Amino acid sequence: MRILLLVMSLISLPSWAHSDAKVISAGASITEIVYALQAQDQLIATDVTSKKWHRGKLADVGYHRQLTAEGILALSPNLLLVSKEAGPQHTLDMLQQAGVEVAVVQSGNTLADLKTRIKQIAEKTQHQDEATALLKQVDELAAQLTANQPAKDKRQKAIFVLMREGRAPSLAGADTPADTIITLMGADNPAAAKISSYKPASTEALVAMAPDVIIMSKRTLKQLGSIDALLEQQPALAATPAGQKRRILAIDGTSLIGEIGINSLKEALRLNQEVYAD
């Protein structure tokens, strides 16, 4: 029996040894987990959305939706961690044919999706012990958020606004990390009932949604200079209850890239405490 268990454990291991791991992470939410598992010593490159974690010290394989086989193969990886959004598919097929293991991890923005991603990446990097502690941290953050949920009649309406130069503001609808964060912080996203992903919003739509809170990335607010500058540039936002009360909150933009991660939960808890401080 012991021999059988040993054989089965060897079969489940990758063909390369842990000490020889050369991993590429293509996706910010994946890279965040690699670092949270303390497996970053295995990384040789990441996609462009992951630079926050290594500050440009690792090779860059470009955007995770536009990967090239030549650029990746030049780095001689033995494992590529991707989400289902990565591609194009013919690039992933070429990499597999060349002997690179392409591991597609769980996508999605639920807590269950996040926990599955952690387990999958831990298995691929052989950091299961670290995963136990990380999963406990996720459960503790989730428990805090659950305990801090407001009464139904106290729930606020919140929207996340994406600003791009020269374009109308876009709102985060359903199936976005921003919508999950809004729900976790104990608020309702009126845009989620109308749109999915990110869509431009008309003045009429913004006013009709009547958000109590507007959430934007810290980077966007910094570029604009101040809340006053934002409201001056965007009269539609100024006309909302949130604009009139200047309830504009900033969020770390990296918590919104890809799918939800550990930082997404931390940001949801911080926003919860800000919105429901009273």
Q: Are residues 53 and 76 located together in one domain of the fold?
A: yes
Q: Are residues 177 and 84 located together in one domain of the fold?
A: no
Predicted pLDDT at 277: 83
What are the pLDDT digits (tens) for 98-134?
A: 999 999 999 999 999 999 999 999 999 999 999 999 9
Predicted pLDDT at 2: 46
Cα 246 from Cα 264, distance rounded (Å): 23
Q: Are residues 34 and 128 located together in one domain of the fold?
A: yes
Cα 2 from Cα 135, distance rounded (Å): 29
Predicted pLDDT at 17: 52
Predicted pLDDT at 77: 97
Q: Are residues 13 and 110 located together in one domain of the fold?
A: yes
Range of the domain at 36: 2-143
Predicted pLDDT at 243: 95
Q: Are residues 116 and 176 located together in one domain of the fold?
A: no
Predicted pLDDT at 14: 52
Q: Which of 120, 143, 166 is the last residue of a domain?
A: 143
What are the pLDDT digits (tens) for 176-209?
A: 999 999 999 999 999 999 999 999 988 899 899 9
Cα 81 from Cα 42, distance rounded (Å): 12
In total, how many domains does the chain have? 2
In the block, tokens 């918590």 appear at 255
Predicted pLDDT at 88: 95
Both tokens assigned to 92: 């992933």
Predicted pLDDT at 147: 95
Q: Are residues 138 and 51 located together in one domain of the fold?
A: yes
Q: Are residues 110 and 69 located together in one domain of the fold?
A: yes
CATH number at residue 247: 3.40.50.1980
Cα 158 to Cα 59, 63, 243: the distances in Å are 38, 30, 12
Predicted pLDDT at 32: 96
Using DSSP, state whether 199 is helix, strand or coil.
strand
pTM score of the predicted model? 0.87
Q: Which of 100, 121, 143 is the last residue of a domain?
A: 143
Q: Are residues 39 and 116 located together in one domain of the fold?
A: yes
Q: Are residues 250 and 212 located together in one domain of the fold?
A: yes
Q: Are residues 8 and 128 located together in one domain of the fold?
A: yes
- The C-alpha R_g of the chain, in whole angstroms, comes to 21
Q: Are residues 124 and 195 located together in one domain of the fold?
A: no
Q: Which of 110, 126, 143 is the last residue of a domain?
A: 143
Buried b (16+ CB within 10 A) or exposed e, 229-240: ebbeebebbbeb
Predicted pLDDT at 9: 40
Q: Which residues of the chain fall short of a pLDDT of 50?
A: 1-13, 15-16
Q: Are residues 18 and 134 located together in one domain of the fold?
A: yes
